[in-house]
């Protein structure tokens, strides 16, 4: 799990300014880090927690990375820290089954069902138990919930009272890319901490350090969100693939996205539709370089495709037949693109 290191290095370099700002501006015992996915919300939440728990914070308020508390945090064994995430995220975050929290052993092992995408009430009840114990190291007790929109309604309601009247040194950091979907009663109890897209040069340097070729293409493809760009690159999506995508779809190469997970493929098509609508209106493209796009002249046809894609995105996690769905979406895009572009495109 990510933390502020011994040398004081932040897990993501662009968090320095927003972190310092948040630490200095925090008036509430509950913060809600909000903004787009893929810019480091969880890292931000964890760094806030580590800084509050740190026993020798810097003048900026940031954790020192070297004290006993920081070492406990780095080794994920700080007694005053609790992270609540859906089971479905545990593996990708490198959390062991040992940390699985409140689930009873037998139950957890017997269940072969898919890990939940929700933070459930059991986890919140276990957190309430944690909250009642005096802080072992006397600095603070911190609970991070990520992503906060995965709290189901029962769990959110169980959280409310403690969020409103926390005991002693208890503090919360919620992080969400969909704060509008949180219960208003949860939202109103938290101080919002906006986390926007990082500065482009910083994001490009970070991607280049991680071996991403043509980081500018992938960063644009991902709307400026560097963590998503890194993930795409690690999943084998090269800049070339992205640049060729519009023309391959215009040629109705339905297999072009067959290796992509369906939600990501639909997201890519939505970005293409957005860019074709933008350029048809004479606006600059956002996700593709202008010369990678066919020259669309009829935004209405592309609006129709965008609407079809929006509908498809709602069911993207559970398509009945992924290949058929992608063939159909690419085919519709190709037909509408033919309507939208000039002959010479
Ligand atoms: Zn420290």
Q: Residue 139 pLDDT more than 90? A: yes
Band (342; pLDDT cuts 50, 70, 90): low
Give the pLDDT of residue 69.
Answer: 97
CA of 30 relative to ligand 1 center, distance in Å: 21
Measured in Å, residue 208 CA sits from the centre of ligand 1 at: 30
Burial of 34 (0-12, 13-18, 19+ CB in 10 A): buried
- Edge-to-edge, what's the strand order for the sheet holding 191-194? 81-84, 141-145, 170-176, 30-34, 191-194
Nearest in space to 226 (alpha carbons), one of 204, 259, 251? 204
Cα of 26 from ligand 1 centre, angstroms: 19
Per-residue pLDDT, 203? 97
Mean pLDDT along residues 64-85: 96
Q: Ligand 1 centre from 71 Cα, in Å?
A: 8
Give the Å distance between the CA of 165 and the centre of ligand 1: 27
Q: How confident is the model at residue 341 (pLDDT cuts 50, 70, 90)?
A: low
Expressed in angstroms and rounded, the spacing between residue 68 Cα and the centre of ligand 1 is 7
Average pLDDT over residues 37-65: 96
22-26, 110-114, 241-245, 328-332: segment of lowest average pLDDT: 110-114
Ligand 1 centre and the CA of 20: distance in Å?
Answer: 15
What's residue 96's pLDDT?
Answer: 65
Sequence-separated (6 or more) residues with CB below 8 Å from residue 122: 102, 103
pLDDT tens digits along 97-138: 545 444 444 444 444 578 899 999 999 999 999 999 999 999
Q: What does the alpha-carbon distance between residue 181 and residue 146 come to, in Å, rounded to a whole number? A: 14
How far away, in angstroms, is 264 Cα from ligand 1 center? 39
Q: Which residue has the higher pLDDT, 253 or 72?
A: 72
176 has which bridge partners?
34
- What's the CA-to-centroid distance between 77 and ligand 1, angstroms? 14
Instruction: Note the pLDDT of residue 277.
Output: 93
Helical (H) or strand (E) element with 180: none
Distance CA 238, CA 213 (A): 8
Task: Decide: helix, strand or coil at residue 285.
Answer: coil
Ligand 1 centroid from CA 76, angstroms: 14
C-alpha closest to that of 242 among 268, 274, 206 = 268
Give the Å distances, CA to CA, from 71 to 44, 57, 78, 217: 18, 13, 8, 38
Q: Count the Cβ atoms, other than its own, within 10 Å of residue 222.
A: 27
pLDDT (0 to 100) of residue 344:
45
Instruction: Tell whether the model's pLDDT for residue 157 goes beyond 90.
Output: yes
Q: What is the mean pLDDT of the chain?
A: 90
Measured in angstroms, how far is the CA atom of residue 123 from the centroid of ligand 1? 28
CA of 65 to the centre of ligand 1 (A): 5
Label residue 267 by pLDDT band (50, 70, 90): very high
Rounded CA-CA distance 217/240 in Å is 9
How confident is the model at residue 32, as a pLDDT? 98
* Interval 155-168 mean pLDDT: 92
The whole-number pLDDT of residue 247 equals: 92
Which contiguous run of DSSP H or E holds residue 145?
strand 141-145
Separation of CA 255 and ligand 1 centre (Å)? 52
């Amino acid at each position: 799990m990510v933390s502020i290191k011994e040398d004081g290095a932040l897990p993501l370099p662009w968090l320095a300014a927003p972190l310092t700002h948040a630490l200095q501006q925090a008036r509430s015992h509950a913060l809600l880090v909000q903004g787009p996915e893929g810019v480091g919300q969880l890292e931000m939440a964890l760094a806030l927690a580590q800084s509050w728990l740190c026993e020798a914070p810097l003048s900026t308020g940031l954790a020192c990375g070297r004290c006993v508390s920081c070492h406990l945090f780095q080794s994920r064994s700080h007694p005053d820290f609790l992270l609540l995430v859906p089971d479905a995220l545990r593996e990708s975050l490198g959390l062991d089954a040992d940390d699985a929290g409140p689930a009873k052993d037998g139950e957890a092992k017997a269940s072969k069902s898919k890990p939940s995408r929700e933070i459930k009430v059991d986890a919140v009840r276990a957190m309430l138990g944690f909250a009642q114990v005096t802080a072992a190291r006397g600095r603070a007790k911190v609970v991070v919930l990520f992503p906060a929109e995965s709290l189901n309604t029962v769990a959110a309601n169980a959280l409310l009272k403690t969020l409103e009247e926390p005991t002693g040194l208890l503090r919360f950091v919620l992080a969400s890319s969909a704060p509008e979907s949180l219960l208003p009663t949860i939202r109103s109890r938290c101080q919002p901490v906006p986390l926007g897209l990082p500065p482009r040069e910083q994001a490009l340097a970070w991607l280049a350090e991680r071996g991403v070729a043509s980081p500018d293409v992938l960063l644009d493809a991902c709307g400026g969100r560097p963590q998503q760009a890194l993930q795409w690159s690690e999943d084998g999506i090269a800049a070339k693939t992205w640049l060729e995508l519009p023309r391959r779809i215009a040629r109705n190469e339905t297999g072009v996205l067959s290796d992509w997970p369906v939600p990501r493929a639909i997201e890519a098509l939505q970005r293409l539709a957005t860019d074709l609508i933008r350029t048809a209106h004479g606006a600059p493209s956002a996700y593709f370089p202008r010369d990678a796009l066919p020259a669309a002249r009829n935004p209405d046809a592309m609006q129709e495709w965008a609407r079809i894609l929006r509908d498809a995105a709602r069911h993207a996690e559970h398509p009945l037949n992924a290949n058929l769905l992608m063939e159909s979406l690419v085919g519709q895009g190709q037909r509408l693109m033919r309507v939208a572009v000039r002959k010479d495109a």
